[in-house]
Structure 1
Amino acid sequence: MMGMQVAPARLFYDFCLDDHVPADHLLRRIDRFLDLESVRTTLKPFYSTIGRPSVDPELMMRMLIVGYCMGLRSERRLCEEVHLNLAYRWFCRLGLDGKVPDHSIFSRNRHGRFRQSDILRHLFETVVERCLAEGLVGGEGFAVDASLIAADANKQRSIPGDEWRAKDHGADAHRAVKEYLATLDEAAWGAATDVEPKFVSPSDPAAQWTGAMRGPAFFAYATNYLIDTDHAIILDVEATRAIRQAEVGAARTMLDRTAERFGLKPQHLAADSAYGSADDLAWLVKEKQIAPHIPVIDKADRTDGTFSRSDFAYDREQDLYICPGGKHLVQYRRNFTNRRSGVTKDGIKFYRAKQSDCQSCDLKARCCPNTPRRRIPRSLVEDARDVARALAGTPAFERSRHHRKKIEMLFAHLKRILKLARLRLRGPSGARDEFLLAATAQNLRRLAKLRPMPILAREGA
């Protein structure tokens, strides 16, 4: 006959929550690497010494880690899931009858003591230190790149860029607007470019209107990663406007911060051609002594069949170029009373051939068919570009090019698995908070994968 389940009438239960969390559960594997003792120490100065006890900051950190590790984008839903899920309760140290805090507690702390203490960066760096202790960071090769994340901004409610004025917003402005106004002089935000955007979101003016994805344009922020190429550990993360100048500047910020915080400086840095300008290569080669495994941005190469600059040999001792016909190209052919540097405001020197040499040359049709003589530009930091050119095509460069794909895989994981394809928070601080927590979750998941649970521990669980 058909059976019917009847609720047991037992009054007391012998229930151990730890026994009901699988030994190979992601949160159990992550928990071994998470040390939040320093969270209370860091946050203690930001709490009052009187009044009723607050929600445990470690509980909030653990709940946020659950949310970002498991792709729970809503804090309201996160609280519901932690209330119902045994594994989440175990990870958050709530037991069976522990009370889950209200979702609003996260907003109040985020806009207050979390940002005042920069606790989310402290949490991220604590996890990076654990990755270092586990031997997952080689320190020989780093890679840097940026990815666009859609902002919580609606195109339909945007206004033309020439209609938005900073002076029109005062003390009654929204929080995201105030944050952007406070960052107008920062290289990663307002000072990244003088170009007026086509559209501005009144609710989140720091979000950049961009069509960089070769599709419909949208408002976005950029998350910048600096990773160690051995095991794709994220060493630093930075939020910026979705514009190349800000992204390139973030690479310098992250390299300097990683060296200061962890004492790490790579032997080489891999990146795409967006980071291959003369100034950036000179900074790496001359100031940081880091080999740039980066394609050089070089607009001197010609595609019309005439000689490019690479066809001219540079004589460093005499400071001149030698053309394919054996003639010299120099800056000046006479002495001036007041010596001239010949350097433009962009840091470029020009080397010119004699017009008579060019007019009588058999190679003129292949060299300068449309001008009386040939002129060659050279940057003041061209030697750094030469270093990058010499490295291109070497076996080490090809390995770095292959390893750089790991950072693209991290961005794909960020958007598809952690579901951070669109931001939930607004403003520079909101973007920074979300990117830090997501990078922390990715490093923790990486630790759990590369340092699995001991066999005895799995069998005994």
Structure 2
Amino acid sequence: MRSADVTQSEMFSYRTLEQRIPASHPLRKLRVLVDGILATLHADFEALYAKTGRPSIPPERLLRASLIQTLYSIRSERQLVQHIDYNLLYRWFVGLDMDDKVWDHSTFTKNRDRLLNETVARAFFGKVLGLAQWHGLVSSEHFSVDGTLIEAWASAKSFKAKDGSGKPPEGGGRNATVDFHGEERKNDTHASTTDLEARLFKKSKGDKSRLCFMGHALMENRNGLAVDVETTLATGKAEREAAAVMVERSLKRGSTLGADKNYDTAGFVKVMRQQGITPHVAQKTNGAIDGRTTRHAGYGVSLRVRKRIEEILGWAKTVGGLRKTCFIGLAKVKAQMTFTLAAYNLTRMATIFGWRLNTV
């Protein structure tokens, strides 16, 4: 017998929000981990907020909402707030009840920008990494490093001469045509009017130059977890300089470091050896790596395993939204990069623990 398609709104619901979330949903276990991590950051949050005044959005809810935005590739704060409003799973994860009013997107953005700086993001990243270390998931001897471009929130048209020279826009309107042919544009003489810290750069000869920043990740080779992260201006030496900083901060003497050919320079290899690190970098034809390093079996293992760092950077750019940042300024991009890699570590740990988090 065919049922009638009758739609009638109910005034009351007899199931709680907790009952509507499947017991086997992976976000349940992730919520337990995240709540435990946020509880350890209570003192850090207390130091950021005044004792008097109008109550703000709880920092724990801000970070949970930002984590949802990263894990589920939600492209904007406006869209995130809309999702939280009608998606019961997101409401439950953030900590809202079914009848709680969701914040306005502008209120969420202002509160989030005040909270989610590099200091808080790095503290959250450190707590996630500490949890992985407590479970014995992190190698203490073998690591890999790599960098990637993060396209800035600025168009090529905003890259103008600092002295005001150059061809004027043709036509009118909000998207006027600009002819760059015959004009030599360099970071020394030009700057973006949208993001002053963005740099015109490309990593390979066949690629096009674009305004961008550069993100860097240091990975441990046992389970492919990120153990350190840096974000810098885009320059030809940025990858090696950031790697030296992360190595000094996170690695102990006697460790090995795998990397691609871009790191096979005399200066970088010398710095690594001075710090007691064995540089297992891919060998150039006339590079600094020689038989003293390549003759060992561990060198070949490092070159194979180091490719897994592309999974971290690829996830950050496709799922985490770092292919093109929505933030302006190096400080905010640093916070986004650090928080995104913390989210990656959580998803990677979910896979290792056997309750894989399907985010897309």
Closer/same/farther in 2, CA of residues 425 and 294 from structure 1, 3 Å limit: same
Once the two structures are overlaid, the 10-residue window that deviates more, 1-10 or 23-32, is 1-10
Matched, 1:292 2:279: yes
- Candidates 320, 332, 335, aligned match of 1:430: 332
1:235 has 2:227 as partner:
yes
Which residue of 1 is the match for residue 171 of structure 2? none
Q: Deviations over 1:398-440 (max 9, x none)?
A: 1111111111122222222333210100111121121112111
In the aligned structure 1, how far is the partner of 2:72 from the partner of 2:115? Answer: 25
Separation in 2, partners of 1:94, 1:266: 48
Instruction: Compute the displacement of 1:132 (Å).
Output: 0.9
Indicate which of 87, 90, 93 corresponds to 1:88: 90
In 2: Cα distance, 1:275 partner to 1:161 partner? 33
Partner of 1:360: none
Post-superposition CA distance 1:8-49 (Å, at most 9, x none):
676543213233223443422422321201333202122111
Distance in 2, matches of 1:102 and 1:265, equals 50
C-alpha distance in 2 between matches for 1:267 and 1:439: 22
Count of paired positions: 333
Provide the residue aligned with 1:64 in structure 2. 66
Distance 1:453 1:215 in 2: 39
Going from structure 1 to structure 2, the CA distance change for 1:246 and 1:273 (only over 3 Å counts) comes to: same
Q: How much does 1:441 deviate? A: 1.2
For residue 2 of structure 1, report the CA deviation from its aligned partner. 5.3
Q: CA deviation at 1:161?
A: 6.2
What is the 5 A alignment of 1:47-196?
A: 47-115=49-117, 118-160=119-161, 196=187
| 2:321 equivalent in structure 1 | 419
Match of 1:292, SS state, is: strand
> Structure 1 stretch 416-425 or stretch 121-130: which is displaced more?
416-425
Q: In the alignment, is residue 279 of structure 1 matched against residue 270 of structure 2?
A: no
Hey, what's the Cα distance between the residues in 2 that align with 1:163 and 1:405?
A: 44
What's the CA shift for 1:452? 2.5
Pair 1:198–1:400, CA change in 2 (3 A): farther
Matched residue of 1:65: which SS? helix
- 1:410 corresponds in structure 2 to 312
Question: 1:139 Cα deviation (Å)?
Answer: 1.6
Partner residue of 1:247 out of 228, 232, 239: 239
Separation of aligned partners in 2, 1:236 and 1:208:
23
With over 3 angstroms needed to count, the CA separation of the structure-2 counterparts of 1:110 and 1:266, relative to structure 1, is farther
Using the aligned pairs only, state the percent identity: 27
Q: Quick one: distance in 2 between partners of 1:389 and 1:98?
A: 65
1:446 Cα deviation (Å)? 0.6
**Per the alignment, do residues 61 and 248 of structure 1 end up closer, same or farther by CA in structure 2, a change over 3 Å counting?**
same
Output the aligned Cα RMSD. Answer: 2.6
Of 37, 41, 44, the residue aligned with 2:43 is: 41
Q: Do the aligned residues in 2 keep the contact of 1:39 with 1:58 (CA within 8 Å)?
A: no
Deviations 1:379-399 (A, max 9, x none): xxxxxx56x542125321111
Task: Return closer, same or farther for 1:9/1:61 CA change in 2, 3 Å cut-off.
Answer: closer
Q: 41-50 or 9-18, which moves further after superposition?
A: 9-18
Report the Cα distance in structure 1 between the residues aligned to 2:11 and 2:108, rounded to whole angstroms.
37
TM-score (norm 1): 0.67
* Whole-angstrom CA distance in 2 between matches of 1:266 and 1:95: 51
C-alpha spacing 1:211/1:453, structure 2 compared with 1 (3 Å): closer
Q: Which amino acid counterpart does residue 28 of structure 2 have in structure 1?
A: R
Give 1:225's match in structure 2, choosing from 202, 217, 232. Answer: 217
Where does residue 27 of structure 2 map in the other structure?
Answer: 27
Q: Structure 1 unaligned runs (5+)? A: 165-194, 301-384, 455-461
CA contact (8 A) 2:282 2:303 kept: no
| Offset from partner CA, 1:89-127 (integer Å, 9 cap, x none) | 111111212222222234323543543x82111111111
Q: Which residue does the alignment assign to 1:205?
A: 196
User: CA separation in 1, counterparts of 2:18 and 2:96?
Assistant: 11
SS in 1 for 2:333: helix
**Structure 2: tracts of 5 or more residues without a match:** 166-185
Question: Is residue 68–residue 438 contact of structure 1 (8 Å, CA) maintained in 2?
Answer: yes
**What are the superposed Cα offsets for residues 46-104 of structure 1, whole Å, 9 maximum, x if unpaired?**
21111232211100000000000111120111111111111111111112122222222
Between stretches 412-421 and 249-258, larger displacement belongs to: 412-421
**1:220 match: secondary structure:** strand
Separation in 2, partners of 1:17, 1:148: 41
- TM normalised by structure 2 equals 0.84
CA change 1:161–1:12 in 2 (3 A) is: closer
**Deviation sequence 1:343-379 (CA, Å, 0-9, x none):** xxxxxxxxxxxxxxxxxxxxxxxxxxxxxxxxxxxxx
SS, match of residue 404 in structure 1: helix
Contact 2:143 2:219 in 1 (8 A): yes
Deviations 1:285-343 (A, max 9, x none): 12x2111101456748xxxxxxxxxxxxxxxxxxxxxxxxxxxxxxxxxxxxxxxxxxx
Q: Distance in 2 between matches of 1:61 and 1:161?
A: 38
Tell me which moved more, 413-422 or 146-155: 413-422
- CA distance in 1 between counterparts of 2:259 and 2:22 reads 40
Instruction: Give the letter aligned to residue 271 of structure 1.
Output: A
